[in-house]
Amino acid sequence: MEGLDSASGSIETKFGTISVSYDKNSGTMKVAVPKGTTCTLTLPSGEERELESGEQEFKF
């Protein structure tokens, strides 16, 4: 993501909080998915990953 060094956000859903943080300098993305749910994460490269519930960290 050109011009964006870091970002984070979260949203409350009826299943719990979904949160994500991105740091270009460290090359990491952290995602928290509510218990009992799944989601699709699209990395900066365009690669998609299906995630289970819990906290996960990705290097890119």
Question: pLDDT averaged over consecutive 10-residue blocks of the chain (60 residues)?
Answer: 87 96 93 96 87 93
Predicted confidence at residue 44, as pLDDT, reads: 75
The pTM of this model reads 0.81
d(CA 22, CA 33): 15
Place of tokens 């859903």: 13
Predicted confidence at residue 23, as pLDDT, reads: 95
Place of tokens 């989601």: 39
d(CA 42, CA 49): 7
Domain ranges of the chain: 1-35
Predicted confidence at residue 7, as pLDDT, reads: 95
DSSP, residue by residue, 9-42: EEEEETTEEEEEEEETTTTEEEEEE-TT--EEEE
Which among 19, 14, 47, 49 has a CA at the least distance from the CA of 33?
19
